[in-house]
A and B are shown apart, each in its own frame.
Chain A
Amino acid sequence: MPDTALLALTWRITRRRVLASWPAVAAALAFPAGIAWIGIGHSYGTAAKLFYFLLPHAFLLAAQDAARTDLESGALENMLFAAGRFRGFLRAKALVAAAWAGGYALALFGLFAAWGLALGEFRPADLVKFGLAVLAGLYYAGLAAALGHWMRGGANVLALLLAQAAATLALVFTAGARTGFLDHVATGRFPGLGPKLLFAGLAALLPNVVVAGRLSVFTAEVLAGLVLVWAAEERLVRALELRKGTRP
């Protein structure tokens, strides 16, 4: 039987945590403001491209509260988490963070779609893009949760962002030698195994790229990655013990 009280408790603890984090609140407000600014100043189409591409990062930022921090703080050694309930809490925390981000993404999508409908620029394909953004976001949430078993604080998210920045810079600085590769990305067709593998690596690190919608193989890769990272997270949680203070 699911521990509904624990789920409700996790929801309330996570909500308090998010509301107490001013960077999280600031980022949650800055993202739609920036999109609206671009939409008004430039065009709805440009704003839409950025909106769907960046939306998965909402899930990544929501998953910054690492399990390692909770384990080392001693806060899980509480009567609330006895009888192995700390595992249920950590499991539920990762899901609650994903649900928070999902709710946020859905609310923004509703507003953005209403804006597009009012301008007559919203297309049914945008629904697919939203679905793909959520898929990439859930992959991020699982990946960050799994990394959070080794990294404290928001280091799990920071490590991913730094790796993404490094990969993007590497692509930019080698763009002259990879004109063909960027063309393949733009068309969604990769003629050889080398470019395919390179893009598969990029998609694993920056799954936002599948939002373009022309990359079904890589969408399947992100979907497989999503299953894999959440399975890894489940395995890590199941193996956890609260060992603080037990070594002689």
Chain B
Amino acid sequence: MIEARRLAKRFGAVEALRDVGFRAPKGAITALLGENGAGKTTTLKIVLGFLRPDAGAVAVGPGPVGYVPDRPAYFPWLDGWTVLEFGRAGRNGPAGGNGRDFRARVLAAARDLGFDPALLRRRPGTYSAGNLKKFAFLQNLAAGPAILVVDEPYASLDPPSVKAVRDALLGLRESGATVLLSSHMLAEMERIADAFVVVRRGATVAQAGLREWRALRSARTGPDLESVFLRLSAP
């Protein structure tokens, strides 16, 4: 579960967030929507502990947290297998079984994501943008997160990879994980998300929970997400 309350954050003269609050429940996919510069990435980074809020609070947990950034980057001297191995060994507590189990889990996740395991012998910096994104998903899926935060899940991905990532996210939801996505792809979000949070100019302007959105979607005459989003985002 992720719960953010009244988050505020300034970068010098720029007010990035002024009042962001939402709840992302366990076993659900929550989509964080907003225009460019609305404060989505800042919100995600506060949730992940990469930034400290000037005001407000975030509660995240329980369990290990995963993160797929918009543009993943890795230490340039490590190859793919080493990065994944560090993901297994770099956490406190149960680290995901022995080496053989972990390798099998990596290969299974790579197959599901359409990621060529031969690439793991190379450094991630040499991958194409799409493979780099899939590798970031692979690192997270192999570690088995209880909470996964994803910034622009489909950026740089081709249609088969979009489907593979969608299936992976749905699989995580089925396993009871909390998934928080930030995306501009409204049609995709409408397809997989259970709840929506709309952020505009650093503040939450709307939040539709599981029940409301399901009710809205089941009523065929209800508005689609794009029209709701455009109405909320209008100046």
Contact = CB atoms under 8 A, between A and B. Distances in A.
A121 interface: no
Given A21-B77, A243-B11, 19 more contacts: A9-B90, A12-B89, A16-B82, A70-B75, A74-B69, A74-B72, A78-B67, A78-B69, A78-B74, A79-B66, A81-B50, A82-B65, A83-B48, A84-B49, A84-B50, A241-B50, A246-B41, A246-B45, A247-B16
B5 interface: no
Interface of B: 11, 14, 16, 36-37, 39, 41-42, 45, 48-52, 60, 64-67, 69-78, 82, 86-87, 89-92, 95, 139-140, 143, 145
Contact of A246 (B51, B86, B92, B143): B51
Given A16-B82, A17-B77, A73-B73, A79 B140 contact: yes
A248 to B, nearest CB: 3
Contact of B74 (A20, A75, A86, A245): A75
Contact of B78 (A16, A74, A76, A246): A16
Q: Max chain B CB contacts within 10 Å: which of A4, A86, A246?
A: A246
Contacts of B52: 241
B69 A83 contact: no
Contacts of A13: 75, 78, 86
A5 B90 contact: yes
A134 B1 CA distance: 48
Contacts of B145: 79
A78 B91 CA distance: 13
A4 B51 contact: no
Nearest to A70: B75
Contact of B50 (A5, A17, A82, A247): A82
Interface in A1-50: 3-6, 8-9, 12-13, 16-17, 20-21
A3 B76 CA distance: 24
Given A20-B77, A241-B51, A246-B42, A12 B86 contact: yes
Contact of B67 (A5, A20, A75, A79): A79
Interface in A206-227: none
Given A5-B91, A6-B90, A13-B78, A74 B71 contact: yes
B75 A75 contact: yes
A101 to B, nearest CB: 19
A164 to B, nearest CB: 28
A108 to B, nearest CB: 25
Contacts of A9: 86, 89-90
Given A13-B78, A83-B60, A246-B16, A77 B51 contact: no
Contacts of A75: 73-75
A248 B77 contact: no
B143 A16 contact: no
10 contacts: A73-B76, A74-B69, A74-B73, A82-B65, A82-B66, A86-B50, A243-B51, A246-B11, A247-B14, A248-B39
5 tightest Cβ-Cβ pairs between the two chains A and B: A248-B37, A74-B73, A9-B90, A242-B50, A20-B77
Contacts of B140: 79
B169 to A, nearest CB: 15
